[in-house]
Each structure stands twice: as structure tokens, then as C-alpha cells.
A and B are shown apart, each in its own frame.
Chain A
């Protein structure tokens, strides 16, 4: 190991990138808070939150080639999707299910993030289905490189496939089968488990008999890494190392980001039945955005005035996105009939 390798990758991030990471986390949070408010006002039917997990998501997103490398997210990846390039207007259009909504034309519930252009794969609501599919995306990367269809050094082509899920979803057989492929075929894949301590109401110790999800990596012959999921730079470092391994043809990595869901599971959940207010308050004190802001201020990267300005701008963006979505038309009823089969190539 060289001396350089001992230096944290995040220490090489320039100030602009650090501020961009902060901005992305903050924008996601403000958007998220507004969605909850809109639901409580009866303006939207459903919201599912990323609050508390922004560091895990944004740290991971900034470690890949955003918009190029494949990302197969789960329903909680609001902040990750914003980091990839989904906009507040996109999200608002989803929340209101308006015509031309970016992810599915209003067919799917909100939080099914999707963009073909950004290589962000639009998932279902069935947990862990995306994991073996991500092995397939990673397989395709390796296949193209091995068969000469793509240059392994070409940064304009996807070179790693990242998927995310919660710790509860690792109980699914789909997760195991996907991880097994990743191990057997040494696929350029990263599985980021955002361990937020609960699968709706069920705590971790009812999901698994091991202390860490990452411990299971040994069963697939790949590295398993535990990282503080509320430390955005620690997550960046862990994912960046996994990215470098994938780019170098060294195979897959399982990363477990230990974090906490600050909200109920979704707008339809009430978490008071399964966790104490004291526990939630404790974790609010560990808010990853607050923590990163304090870090940036201590480092002299972010002044209090800049922080306030960021906040104002984020609220303004959310305001204008909400206004635009509210003014947009609903889908035509018959749009339900479209896009069942892809047309034949060549138009025949």
C-alpha cells in the first residue's frame, strides 16, 4: 500500500464539491419536509422519506460517475436521486402524479426514481428485486469489456453498477442470489445497504442473527464494509474504494451504512407503536446534515451566512417546483393504455 492510498479519498475533494454535497443533502431534506407537509394538508396521497439517510445516499452518489454508472435505487433514495440529477420539479410532479411525470408518466407511486438518460433504473416496490438485476447490469458491463464491445478505461461508459436497499430487504432470497452472482463472476457491483435499524416496525435483530449485514459478505467471497452512514465523507470514502476495485476488475463490494430513519416508514405509517420518542430524539441529534454543516464550518468551507443562503435557495427551489407541479395538468385517462410493449426495432 502506498502512502497515497492511506490518505482518505474524501480529503482530495475540493471545496466546490464539498459544498455541492452539502447542497444536495439540504435540498433533498427541504423537499422531503415539504412532501410531508403536503401529505398532512391532504394535497398528495403518499410520500416515503429519506430523512436521516442523506449522508449515506449522497456520499455514495458522489463516489461514482454520476449519470454514467448504473444506479438501481430503492424507494428511499430521494437524496441519491437528486445527486444523480433528478430535480425538485421531477419529484413534485411525482408527488402530484401529473401528466408527463418524469419516472413513469404518473403510473407509479412517488419514489420510484428513474431516468434512462442518467442510467438510473426505475424499480418496482417489491424489495430486493433490484439486487439480482444489478448483478445483470454489472454482468453487462463486464461482458461488453471482455467481448470488446466497450473499452474498460472509457469513462463515458458505465463501469460499475450500484444498488441500494434497506437491511430488512437482505432477508430476501433475491438479495442472496444477486450477491452470489456478484461474487462468483467478480462483477463490478456495489451493494449499499442502508441499515436504518427498522424494516417498517421490525428491528434488525428480528431480521438476522449476525451483528452486521456486512458480515454476510464472507459468504459471497467479497469484501464487506461497515461505515458510519451519518458521516457523508466516510460513506464517500468507503464507496469510492469499492468503485476503484470495480473499475480495476477486482469485483463486488458489500457496504453497510449504519444510519437511522428519522421519520415513520411512509406517510401511511405511525412509528409510535414500535419505537420510543427518546430514541428518535437521540438520532435527531445525530442528523447527518447538521453534522456535515458543522464540519464544513469548522473547516472554514462554509460560513454561517453561506449556510443561511443555501437554506433560502433550497426553500425557494422547492416553492417554485411545488407551484409548477400544482399548475400542471393531470394525465389523460387513456394514457393508462400506453407503453405496454416496446415497438420492434426498425419500426416493422
Chain B
């Protein structure tokens, strides 16, 4: 085991998949000699050369569309969108094309494509370097939407995404790229070539009193909040890291709330029609008899983006203390 950062885990996964399968290639803006603006692809251009690590033109739609075409031809593209905020020009290609290819050809053509994008706020990125875009895509059958919160999961899930025969959107919590560290098995050990299956949530912390559902940076913060309320209030919180939003691990969501009777869903996207609404609906529909309180959501306010100024940004973002406050409130219900 070696402790690495989240972004090192992302890089290791790509490196190992490229070494394993000559069909795997990378493209995106600045992924070549620059190694990506966040350094996710650092060293891969030198190792695999310009044929397999390709600087794309500055045009997100075509990064995805070329990836789709290459995937139709049974290569295994990993497309990087520099910031999730820039993915919107490719919406048509992702939603209307990649997601629908398999269905619209009755299973004849598949699109084994990975689209990686750093997402989320709290990085002084303002409206266009802070967005959470997962809800748009989690709505679309045919896509898979994955968001890791630990280095172990980032590596294992990204490897699964590369090996998946379907289009996978892989959103990385960029605030945690270097802030989140964790143990990952060494590559040269028998445990090294592990994968984490897409579609399975993870019990990040076991507890009896209340369930917190989160993903990405908010899963990380929710664990910290759980520590705070355990220490200060004696509240025993279970934290479920959803890890995959589509397909959602419904069994894991329901099992936890049936045990605790209370559910809080935390996400940093703005509240309305965010992914938490779907989790809340699922619980209301299938675990109603287990509930001892209202299903609560803690999310960003319904404004068009995360503001740049530090004060407003901190006001926008949920953090361990606001999550702890929401836990206390619901626990007291």
C-alpha cells in the first residue's frame, strides 16, 4: 500500500490501462506535453508518445464526437474535458449520440467511451470553473455516471470505466485532487490490478442514527461532519458514498435508511432538480415505512453558479460544519 492523492490515482489508472490495452488512447485539451492543466496525464505523453496521447483542437464537442467515432471502431478512448463547465457544447454528442447508439441500433453499435472531467466548486473558479453537471447526465439512460471520492475508488472505478462497453462520464472532484489522500495497493503486487465495480455504493462509515448520502467532495466532507457530530453530539451517522449515480445502487440506499430511519442527502450542485431529488424520491417510494423524519437535502443555493469572491463562494458551498448542522437538525427531529 502507498498513500497517493486522488489525481495520482487517476493518472495511475490511465497509465495502467494504456499499458494493458493498446486500444486505449487519450485526447483532450493540453493532455500532451503539458500533461493536462491539472496534471492528470503528466508523463503519459513521454511514455506513450503522440500517437496515443493526443492534444485535441480547442473544441469540446469534437473531443467527444471523435471519441465516439473511435469507440464505434472499437478503440478505447479516454476523453478529457478540461473543466466540467466546458462540457455543455458536447451535450448533443453525449446525450443524443453516445447514450443512444446502442439502443437505436438495437445493440449493433456500442460506444466504449470514457469522458473524464474535473467538477465542483470551492477552488476560486467562479461560475465557469466550479460547476456540478452530473444531474444533466444522470437523467439519460444509456450513460453511466461515476464520481469517486477516494484515491482507491478513483483508480478502481476509472479502470472499470475504461473496460466498460458503454459511455461512462467520470467526474472528478477537483478540490480533492491533491487534498484527498488515501492508500492504494502497489501496482506490482497481486492486489495492484484491482477494479471497483460501477454501480455499487460504499458504506464510508457505519452508523445507527442517521444516513447521509453523498458523492465526490461532499462524501469526503460528510465523513468529516460525521466525526464532528460523533465527537460533539454523540450522533452515530452512517455515510453512504454513492460513487455511481447512474446506475444508482438502490439496494445500498434503501438498506441504510431502513436501518437508521433518517436520510440526509448532500450535494454541491444547486438544490432544485439536483441528484438528491432522485435519492429522496427513491427513499420516499420504497422505504417510507422506515422513516422517522423528513428526507432532507443540503445543497448549493438555487443561483446560476458558484461566485468567485471568497465570501460568496464559502456561503455557496456546503462544508463539514454546515453538514454537521444539518445532521443535528435532522437528528433532533
Contact = CB atoms under 8 A, between A and B. Distances in A.
Nearest to B142: A340
Interface string A313-328: 0000000000000000
B166 A132 contact: no
A70 B71 CA distance: 13
Given A139-B69, A140-B75, A340-B141, A132 B108 contact: no
B70 A143 contact: yes
A114 B105 contact: yes
A135 B69 contact: yes
Contact of A174 (B61, B72, B144): B61
A141 interface: yes
B160 to A, nearest CB: 9
Contact of B105 (A104, A138, A345): A104
Contact of B67 (A107, A136, A146): A136
Given A107-B103, A340-B141, A342-B107, A129 B75 contact: no
Given A132-B93, A147-B22, A181-B57, A108 B65 contact: no
Contacts of A135: 62, 65-66, 69
Interface in B65-87: 65-75, 77
Nearest to A189: B69
B111 to A, nearest CB: 8
B140 to A, nearest CB: 10
Nearest to A173: B61
Interface residues of B, number: 46
B107 A177 contact: no
Interface stretch (A32-40, A119-127, A198-206, A244-252): A119-127
Nearest to B165: A342
Contacts of B141: 340
Contacts of B281: none
A236 to B, nearest CB: 25
Q: Which 9 A-B pairs have the closest CB atoms?
A: A136-B69, A132-B65, A140-B73, A177-B62, A105-B106, A136-B66, A342-B165, A133-B69, A116-B108
Interface of A: 70, 72, 103-105, 107-108, 112, 114-116, 121-122, 124, 126, 129, 132-141, 143-144, 146-147, 149, 158, 161, 173-174, 177-178, 180-181, 184, 338-345
12 contacts: A70-B73, A107-B106, A133-B68, A133-B97, A146-B51, A147-B52, A174-B92, A177-B61, A178-B65, A181-B66, A344-B164, A345-B165
Interface of B: 22-23, 25, 51-52, 56-57, 59, 61-62, 65-75, 77, 89, 92-93, 96-97, 100-110, 112, 141-142, 144, 163-166
Given A137-B70, A144-B73, A343-B165, 4 more contacts: A116-B109, A126-B92, A126-B97, A135-B65
